[in-house]
Every structure is written in structure tokens, then in C-alpha cells.
């Protein structure tokens, strides 16, 4: 199934039309470039190799660097193959972007979980532990794992302390809440594995995704063209009516009456 690659940006919350709070994960998806086509005639299987992220030449091996420079492509940080039967619909150099997703789609997200280091059985396997009161020497220990004379060994896959996390995890059937094509952002309901800026693979559950014309970035209008079309629409001549001058009625001037002098009081001598 053909999918896209992206980076985890973090989690936030949005509010739906009915006012309900929705926890979402923000993922920067693509654009991913087709770097190579695998066909049954030449390789024995059908697949597309996609590239995502730009890196420096010194951080790349010479074979991979030559593989990309020979085709005139940028130096991608990640290269990944996706099995698909619709190889004929794509060519090397095509850009696949987040516009291929739609709100309501179900996707599977794969990534590396956060590394937790060396952990005990309670945190790693969820065991309850021993008594917590005084006198007990079995608080957070795994307990006895020994066997008798037969079989005289410890069974494989026994739940013991050890390294936790930093392993491949796939979360299935996450719902696409919104697609922000101007920012290459995908909002998924729920949590996905990995830390911030972690590498993720987003694979839709519907095969129709591979045949959508919006999947290719060539199907969208360039932002410069969109701005130019808006500018021409705004610059269209419009007939302006001459403004009518409103004559304000002159207010009548009020004549001020002379103040009457107070009568002088006669003083008796």
C-alpha cells in the first residue's frame, strides 16, 4: 500500500462543529518525491521508492548520494519503498503531498516509540509487585524464575527487567480530522508513537488513495498563480459613482441677550 512520510510535531486539541473537544496529533506530511520505480520485469516486484527531508552531503553515504545525484534529485534524509500495483501512474521526480488525504480517512501510522532505557518488570510489563509493608523483601522484584530438575532452564520470553521502548510500533485506524494543505499539516485523532520531530510513515487503509488526482502536487495550483488570479480579479475596473456632496443646513445663530445688571442698593449715610 502506497503511503507518505512525515514528522511528528506534537499534540494539541481542536473543537468540532458540535463543540466537542478532540485531541489530535499534528504531523508534517511530505512532500515526498518519487526517487525510483521497482517493476516486476526488472526487480521482481512492484514498488515506489520515496524520498523525504533534505540533509547535508557529509551525512550521507557515497552510494546513496550517487543514487540521487545521478537523477538530479535532492539529497533526501529518508528513503523508503512502498509496495503498490499502480506503478504506471507515477514517474521518477513526481511529488506526492498531503492533499491526497481527506477528512474522515482511516490511516495506519508507524514509528519508533520513545526510548525508556533499562526498566523493571512493573513499568515494563505492568506487574503488580510484592507486599509494600514492613518485613517484605519483595517490593518491586520480579520474583523467582527458577525451574526444577526438569526442564532445568528458564523459558524463553520470560518477562524480566530489560531495555524498554525504542521499537517499531504501528497504530491502526486513526481518523483524519483535518488536512491543512497550505502548511502540509495532517491532524489525526489520538496519539502516535515517537517523540517530537520523529519520523513517521502514514499509510491509508483505502486503496482508492493511490488513484486520487490530488495526491500529486502537480494537480494543485501554485500559490503564485493563485495570488495572481486574485490580484487580477481585484484590479478589474469598476464604475465609481461621483460622490454626492451633502449640504449641511446652516444652524441659526442665536442672538445673545445683554446680561441685565443687578440693581444697586442705596447706602444710608
Question: Quick one: pLDDT band at residue 94, thresholds 50, 70, 90?
Answer: confident
Q: Which three cell numbers stand for residue 175?
A: 481518523
pLDDT digits (tens, 9 = 90+) for 166-198: 999 999 999 999 999 899 999 999 999 999 999
The domain ranges of the chain are 1-25+103-123+162-210, 31-96
Q: Which residues, at least 6 apart from 9, have a Cβ–Cβ distance to it below 8 Å?
A: 26, 27, 28, 185, 196, 197
Q: Which three cell numbers stand for residue 247?
A: 449640504
Q: Is residue 231 over pLDDT 70? A: no
Q: Are residues 51 and 79 in contact, defined by beta-carbon separation less than 8 angstroms?
A: yes
Q: Report pLDDT for 226.
A: 46
- The topology under which CATH files domain 31-96 is Double Stranded RNA Binding Domain (3.30.160)
Instruction: Specify the pTM.
Output: 0.72
Q: Which is higher by pLDDT, 254 or 64?
A: 64
Neighbours of 124 (CB within 10 A): 18
Which CATH number does 1-25+103-123+162-210 carry?
Answer: 2.40.30.10
Burial letters for 15-53: b for 16+ Cβ neighbours within 10 Å, e otherwise?
Answer: eeeeeeeeebbbbbbbbbbbbbbbeeeeeeebbbbbbbb
Q: What is the mean pLDDT of residues 22-39?
A: 92
1-25+103-123+162-210 and 31-96 in the same fold? no
pLDDT digits (tens, 9 = 90+) for 43-84: 899 999 999 999 898 998 999 999 998 888 989 999 999 998
Amino acid at each position: 500500500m502506497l503511503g507518505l512520510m512525515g514528522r511528528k510535531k506534537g499534540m494539541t486539541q481542536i473543537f468540532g462543529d458540535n463543540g466537542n473537544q478532540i485531541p489530535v496529533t499534528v504531523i508534517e506530511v511530505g512532500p515526498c518525491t518519487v526517487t525510483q520505480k521497482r517493476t516486476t520485469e526488472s526487480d521482481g516486484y512492484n514498488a515506489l521508492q520515496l524520498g523525504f527531508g533534505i540533509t547535508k552531503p557529509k551525512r550521507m553515504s557515497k552510494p546513496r548520494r550517487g543514487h540521487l545525484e545521478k537523477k538530479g534529485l535532492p539529497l533526501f534524509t529518508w528513503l523508503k519503498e512502498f509496495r503498490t500495483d499502480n506503478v504506471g501512474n507515477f514517474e521518477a521526480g513526481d511529488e506526492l503531498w498531503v492533499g491526497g488525504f481527506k477528512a474522515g480517512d482511516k490511516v495506519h501510522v508507524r514509528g519508533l516509540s520513545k526510548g525508556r532505557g533499562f526498566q523493571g518488570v512493573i513499568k515494563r510489563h505492568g506487574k503488580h509487585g510484592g507486599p509494600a509493608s514492613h518485613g517484605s523483601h519483595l517490593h518491586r522484584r520480579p520474583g523467582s524464575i527458577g525451574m526444577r530438575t526438569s526442564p532445568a532452564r528458564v523459558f524463553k520470553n520470560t518477562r524480566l527487567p530489560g531495555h524498554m521502548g525504542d521499537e517499531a510500533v504501528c497504530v491502526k485506524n486513526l481518523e483524519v480530522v483535518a488536512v491543512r494543505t497550505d502548511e502540509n499539516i495532517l491532524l489525526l485523532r489520538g496519539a502516535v508513537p515517537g517523540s517530537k520531530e520523529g519520523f513517521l510513515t502514514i499509510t491509508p487503509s483505502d486503496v482508492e488513495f493511490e488513484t486520487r488526482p490530488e495526491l500529486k502536487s502537480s494537480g494543485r495550483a501554485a500559490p503564485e498563480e493563485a495570488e495572481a488570479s486574485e490580484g487580477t480579479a481585484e484590479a478589474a475596473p469598476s464604475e465609481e459613482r461621483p460622490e454626492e456632496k451633502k449640504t449641511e443646513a446652516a444652524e441659526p445663530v442665536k442672538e445673545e441677550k445683554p446680561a441685565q445688571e443687578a440693581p444697586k442698593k442705596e447706602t444710608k449715610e
